[in-house]
Amino acid sequence: MPNDDRLQYQERIRERPRRNGWKVATLVLFISTVVFATTTLLAYNHIINPPAAKPTPIATQAPQQTTTGPAPTSASTSSSMSTVQPSTSNNYSALQPGPGCDKNGGAWTPQGISSITCGTQISLSTATIRGYLFLQLPNNKAFSSDNKIGVIGNPSNNGQCVGLDEQDANTGFLAEYCGDGNWSIYTISPTDGSIVQTLDHNLTSTRQTADISLTLKGTTLSFAIDNEVHNVPNITPIQPTKVAITFIGYYSVTVNNFSYTVLSS
């Protein structure tokens, strides 16, 4: 081999490690760059999309145990929701009685009434037949045998009368005040509402509006017109299944402020 060729060959041999070293360094740098980029990307993704937190379990209330022992005394249950409510919890009132007008939960059923306008104005199907607006207490609570019902009405002096009625399966009591000052207390038939007997009647002053009430207390019936009270003693007590506001006469009448009160025995 000529000397020049030998020298060139030896020179190439000496330069090869340098070129291989440069390639290795380049490869290491590339791998480091990839690892760094991957790590940075994962960290960024963790920041913007953190893992969802595990839900905290909700404590459940253990079921209440029932006992067959005697009921606790009132002293031990003064703060308990299971304390038996007194009978006066059945008291009820309706500023505007009537279906769609009463906002307190009472159910009203008209009979012989052609229209009711909240306010409450009542018109009859036939002016000569008495109309009834029956009440059912909320949650179908029963009526007490000793109670007082009341309403405010404004019958005009043209044959209009506003009254209150309580009935059981066999009989009923009706008390009404008329715009001309006449008032009457009757027993009626629960079948058709017809008058069976007049227990009392008289004439009082006329007034623009009248606050009337009917009270059943043992064997005594009381009818009040404002502060004027008329008693009928020695009645046969009833267990009412129906109470009602009544009306008879032409045109319409306004009734409001109905109330039902349980009386203590």
Which CATH number covers residue 197? 2.60.120.560
* Secondary structure of residue 147 in the 3-state scheme: strand
Opening angle at CA 164, ends 141 and 195, nearest 5: 115
What type of residue sits at position 235? I
Which domain range does residue 23 map to?
1-50
pLDDT at 65 over 50: no
Both 24 and 145 in one domain: the answer is no
Determine, yes or no, domain membership for 224. Answer: yes
Determine, yes or no, domain membership for 71. Answer: no
Of the pLDDT bands very low, low, confident and very high (cuts 50, 70, 90), residue 52 is very low
Query: What are the Cα distances from residue 167, in Å, to 164, 239, 259?
Result: 10, 8, 17
Of the pLDDT bands very low, low, confident and very high (cuts 50, 70, 90), residue 99 is very high
Q: Which residue has the higher pLDDT, 128 or 39?
A: 128
Query: 43-47, 68-72, 217-221, 235-239: which range is least confident on average?
Result: 68-72
93-108 average pLDDT score? 96
How far apart CA 187 and CA 178 sit, in angstroms, is 17
- pLDDT for 1: 53
Alpha helix stretches (DSSP H) within the chain: 3-48
Determine, yes or no, domain membership for 75. Answer: no
Both 240 and 120 in one domain: the answer is yes
Q: How many residues does the chain have?
A: 265
Of the pLDDT bands very low, low, confident and very high (cuts 50, 70, 90), residue 170 is very high
Q: Are 251 and 232 in contact (CB under 8 A)?
A: no
H/E stretch holding 195 reads strand 195-203
* Secondary structure of residue 243 in the 3-state scheme: strand
What single-letter DSSP state applies at residue 174? E
Neighbours of 172 (CB within 10 A): 23
Tens-place pLDDT, residues 196-230: 999 999 999 999 999 999 999 999 999 999 999 99
Both 6 and 121 in one domain: the answer is no
Number of domains in the chain: 2
pLDDT at 109 over 90: yes
Beta-carbon-side half-sphere exposure of residue 105 (alpha carbons within 13 Å): 8
The contacts of residue 212 (CB under 8 Å, 6+ apart) are 150, 151, 152, 153, 162, 163, 164, 175, 176, 177, 223, 224, 225
Tokens of 59: 């404590």
Determine, yes or no, domain membership for 68. Answer: no
Among 254, 211, 257, which residue's Cα sits nearest to residue 122? 254
Number of H helices, E strands in the chain: 1, 15
Q: Report, in this order, helix, strand and coil percent for the chain, each rounded to 5.
A: 20, 35, 45
Both 33 and 115 in one domain: the answer is no
Q: Is-above-0.85 flag for pTM?
A: no
How far apart CA 112 and CA 123 sit, in angstroms, is 9
